[in-house]
């Protein structure tokens, strides 16, 4: 199945590339100026994931977040790492530390999804009065 270059695709990819944190569907919908349909955004994102251009992170809020892979590679995060989700501001960012998982014999790992949620330093300092 050949991929085509569409405006929606370009807009979403540019957004993810330039974003320092992983973005959920509604974040993307909210940020992007072009009016792209909800289903289309999901379909574009799913295609990116199939093509391994983007990686999908499932938050402990049950929502999907999407991050441009090269961001991770640049930061030497090719391997498994946790993501931190701030329950205050919603940011989902990489934690720069490789995680190794030891599976029992005969187990096959297909996906790694490590999430830590809490309060990021920005929100924590705001809360305690600058």
User: 123 is in the binding site of which of Mn ion, Zn ion, DNA, none (Cβ under 5 to 8 A by kind)?
Assistant: Zn ion
User: Which residues 6+ apart lie within 8 Å of 84 measured at CB?
Assistant: 91, 92, 93, 94, 95, 115, 116, 117, 118, 120
* Min separation Cβ 123 and Zn ion, Å: 3
Rounded distance between C-alpha atoms, residue 87 and residue 69, angstroms: 23
Contact 76, 95 (CB under 8 A): no
Residue 76 binding: pick among Zn ion, DNA, Mn ion, none (C-beta 5-8 Å cut-off by kind): none
**x/- letters, 110..129, toward a second copy (CB under 8 A):** xxxxxxxxxxxx--xx----
By CB under 7 A, is residue 8 in contact with DNA?
A: yes
**Residues 81-100: x where in contact with a second copy by CB under 8 A, - otherwise, as a string:** -x-x--x-------x-x-x-
Residue 85 is inside which H or E element, if any? strand 81-86
Is 27 a residue that touches Zn ion (CB under 5 A)? no
- C-alpha span between 25 and 27 (Å, rounded): 5
Q: Which is nearer to Mn ion, 36 or 71 (CB)?
A: 71
SS3 62: coil
Footprint of a second copy on this chain (CB under 8 A)? Answer: 58-64, 82, 84, 87, 95, 97, 99, 101-121, 124-125
């Amino acid at each position: 199945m050949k991929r085509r270059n569409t405006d929606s695709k370009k807009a979403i990819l540019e957004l993810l590339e330039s974003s320092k944190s992983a973005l959920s569907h509604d974040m993307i919908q909210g940020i992007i100026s072009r009016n792209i349909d909800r289903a289309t955004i999901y379909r574009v994102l799913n295609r990116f994931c199939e093509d391994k251009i983007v990686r999908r992170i499932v938050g402990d809020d049950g929502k999907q977040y999407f991050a441009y892979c090269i961001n991770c590679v640049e930061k030497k995060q090719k391997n498994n790492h946790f993501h931190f989700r701030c329950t205050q501001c919603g940011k989902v960012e990489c934690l720069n530390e490789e995680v190794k998982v030891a599976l029992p014999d005969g187990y096959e790992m297909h996906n790694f999804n490590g999430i830590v949620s809490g309060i990021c330093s920005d929100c924590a300092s705001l809360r305690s009065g600058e």
